[in-house]
Amino acid sequence: MQMSNVAEWLAVAFIWVLGLAALLVVILFVIDINQTKDAVRRNYPVIGRFRHLFTELGEFFRQYFFAMDREEMPFNRAQRDWVSRAASGKGNTLAFGSTKNLQPVGTPIFVNCPWPTLDEEAVEAEALIIGEGARQPYRAPSFFNVSAMSYGSLSKPAIRALSLGAAKGGCWLNTGEGGLSPYHLEGGCDVVFQIGTAKYGVRTEEGELSDEKLKEVAAHPEVKMFELKLSQGAKPGKGGILPAEKVNEEIAKIRGIRAHEASISPNRHPEIEKMEDLCAMIRHLREVTGKPVGIKTVIGAYGWLDNYFAHIAAGNPDDAPDFITVDSGDGGTGAAPMPLMDNVGLLIRESLPMVVDLRDQHGLKDRIRIIASGKMVTPGDVAWALATGADFINSARGFMFSIGCIQAMKCNTNKCPTGVTTHNKRLQRGLVPEEKADKVANFVESMRNEVGVIAHSCGVHSPRGLKRHHVRMVCPDGRSRPMDELHPAPVRQG
């Protein structure tokens, strides 16, 4: 009898559910056929709504079910898997054969030596001094470091994980343009403070540069250098963009802006409109802070850089930046206009050798360090940059992958499912900084070790021993040519 009652109750409940579902369909039908904004829904009521759902879910279906290992953008599954294995401290050996297509034009192929370096002969890459002329030069221990990612663009637990991990891994952490937060300092790692066009963290109420706040930042022993951002790869000619939903009270206080309002940086530093202004700003920052000062830029027009180096070489060493961060035109960001992201700025494969050659042509190799940045997440990318002439390599999205990013492409929505780029407390809960810090450290160590593996195969003792003659580039005729022939060493002027 009881079973019969349960069956009757379930039958009634099922009828009610069907009735409510039918009512909902009728309501949606009436709404869709009468609305005027969406032609698909108006012509195909209710069913047309699935188009938006499938469009929304399409990128996830492609990522997990349909895309081949090497065909996704901006980073493919093979790249993400390498970072994941490296960050987990697992072995990075693979079976059967490479899935990488080595035939596309521009592919670098390293030239192995018949007598590779023995393990006992290998040495670690030496530390390099940046800013010897500053009152407090910086002895940078690692050639691979955490690129600019601001608190605001990234979440609190993400910044904490990067700070703790960078300290364990012995590399620097760039603050990005969002100012210096307590979470950047928490791990005790070396910090590079970036000054964006809005001067976040070192600005007056009117948005001008504050020497007092500069001195406060420089007083932190963890802050080793200052980077003046002129432009970045994902949006050259456009300032930083932080949506209003990400500007909470704490972030607003750190940046020196109003809370709950979109934070839009100027297109450039208003007070820098010619080379003389840039020289004056660099001298001023170095004098106020006492620490090395460099610039970050994506290369487009480059005549100004040639003129700038010529000016420095003509007897004006104090006007030189202590380092130049060369960003790639396909760099990443939390939010950027698609026309800039897709169409503006040279890629690092073209711009890095250009900047290195211009610097060396003017005899400034020992004066200006060059940092390469832009989609460098695997040992081959980093080894190529070192061979080309970079002194250091920065990675942002590689470190995001190391702390759990799954390339959900939701950075600008505050809905990041892994807690990396959201300020939603519920979503942040999944990112445990102490656990992810070990992954950051493992990623750094694995990168240094495996770049070393490439270097030893080429017959040199350390990664910085890689030179252009160790690399061949695939050319349009299908053959490879030595990179030192495609980009020969420049003749020094003077």
pLDDT in tens, 461-491: 999 999 999 999 999 999 999 999 998 888 7
**Which residues are registered as beta bridge partners of 146?**
173, 395
CB atoms within 10 A of CB 65: 7
Residue 493 domain-assigned? Answer: no
pLDDT at 277 over 70: yes
Between 411 and 465, where is the model more confident?
Answer: 465
Q: What secondary structure letter does DSSP report for 335?
A: S
Burial zone of 139 (CB within 10 Å; 0-12 exposed, 13-18 middle, 19+ buried): exposed
Residues 428 and 312 reside in one and the same domain: yes
Residues 24 and 132 reside in one and the same domain: no
- Residue 87 φ then ψ, to 5°: -70, -25
**pLDDT for position 340:** 58
Residues 189 and 318 reside in one and the same domain: yes
- In this prediction, residue 148 has a pLDDT band, given cuts at 50, 70 and 90, of very high
| Whether 320 contacts 285, CB under 8 Å | no
CATH code for the domain of 134: 3.20.20.70
**pLDDT for position 338:** 63
Between 330 and 318, where is the model more confident?
Answer: 318
Return the structure tokens found at 297: 């830029």
Residues 15 and 144 reside in one and the same domain: no
Residue 35 domain-assigned? Answer: yes
- Considering 23, 39, 66, which residue would you say is the last residue of a domain? 66
- In this prediction, residue 56 has a pLDDT band, given cuts at 50, 70 and 90, of low
**pLDDT for position 8:** 78
Which domain does 22 fall in, by range?
Answer: 2-66
- In this prediction, residue 248 has a pLDDT band, given cuts at 50, 70 and 90, of confident
Which of 182, 178, 185 minimizes the C-alpha distance to 200?
A: 178
pLDDT at 335 over 60: no
How far apart are the C-alpha atoms of 449 and 380, rounded to whole Å? Answer: 12
How far apart are the C-alpha atoms of 69 and 483, rounded to whole Å? Answer: 28
Residues 54 and 123 reside in one and the same domain: no
Residues 54 and 136 reside in one and the same domain: no
pLDDT at 27 over 60: yes
Residues 57 and 161 reside in one and the same domain: no
Residues 285 and 353 reside in one and the same domain: yes
Residues 145 and 28 reside in one and the same domain: no
Q: What is the pLDDT of residues 152-163, one digit of tens each?
A: 889 999 999 999
pLDDT at 62 over 60: no
Residue 170 domain-assigned? Answer: yes
Residue 401 domain-assigned? Answer: yes
Residue 86 domain-assigned? Answer: no
Q: Are strands 471-474 and 172-174 parallel, antiparallel or unpaired?
A: unpaired
Residues 58 and 130 reside in one and the same domain: no
Residues 352 and 288 reside in one and the same domain: yes
Which of 124, 133, 132, 211 minimizes the C-alpha distance to 170?
A: 124
Residue 96 domain-assigned? Answer: no
How far apart are the C-alpha atoms of 466 and 386, rounded to whole Å? Answer: 6
| Of the candidate ranges 136-140, 183-187, 202-206, the one whose mean pLDDT is the lowest | 202-206
How far apart are the C-alpha atoms of 185 and 412, rounded to whole Å? Answer: 25
Please enumerate in sequence order all residues whose Cβ is within 8 A of that of 379, keeping only pairs 6 or more positions apart, or say none: 447, 450, 451, 453, 454
Residue 452 domain-assigned? Answer: yes
Residues 59 and 125 reside in one and the same domain: no
Q: What is the CA radius of gyration of the chain?
A: 26
Question: Across the chain, what does the average pLDDT equal?
Answer: 86
- pTM equals 0.85
- Please confirm whether the linkage preceding 74 is cis (ω < 30° from 0): yes
Q: How many structural domains are present in the chain?
A: 2
Residue 73 domain-assigned? Answer: no
